[in-house]
Amino acid sequence: MLTRMNSPDAAVDVLVEVVESVSDELLEAVTRLVPQLSRSSPPPDRRALESIVASGASTLLVASAPTRPVRGKIIGMLTLVTFDIPTGTRAVIEDVVVDEQARGRGIGGALTREAVAIAAVRGAKTVDLTSRPEREAANRLYRSIGFEQRNTNVYRLTIGPGAT
């Protein structure tokens, strides 16, 4: 499904789409992009990717450039998670990554803005995301879109394989 084309923020034409099915092209792109996001998490295999795409809570967005020099190639992705809880509909953006060779061209902004628009349609009143402090460009991007840094503690409990 086409959700945005020719983002006004992008230095290149950007096509942002909601993934509705897993293709070989998508699997190749995710396999290429995930290591650029995390060295500790392996990319999902086809079955895991199909589960993500089929999930009612997760929406996988991908960005591609419909013009040269990277025509048709998936150059970025983002996962939007929306879910209902007793206090309302929540939205969280996760796993935002733009290919190293395509960064600085507005692709992350196009993905993020489209995720925010989808969250709004789904009834979310806020959208949360996290970004490591050393990801300075990403943090500047999120602030420029209107995200505000919250004064909160983020806690993590590791369970399953690798837990101590």
Ranges of each domain in the chain:
2-145
Residue bearing the bigger pLDDT, 105 or 71: 105
pLDDT value for 13: 82
Residue-wise pLDDT tens digits, 29-44: 999 999 999 998 999 9
Task: Give the pLDDT band (50/70/90) at residue 75.
Answer: very high
pLDDT value for 1: 37
pLDDT value for 2: 40
Residue-wise pLDDT tens digits, 57-70: 999 999 998 765 55
* Mean per-residue pLDDT, 140-147: 96
Least confident residue range of 65-74, 97-106, 137-146? 65-74
pLDDT value for 156: 87
pLDDT at residue 121 greater than cutoff 70: yes
* Mean per-residue pLDDT, 37-57: 95
pLDDT value for 99: 95
CATH dotted code for 2-145:
3.40.630.30
Give the CA distances from residue 35 to residues 4, 44, 84, in Å, rounded to whole numbers and listed in that order: 26, 11, 31
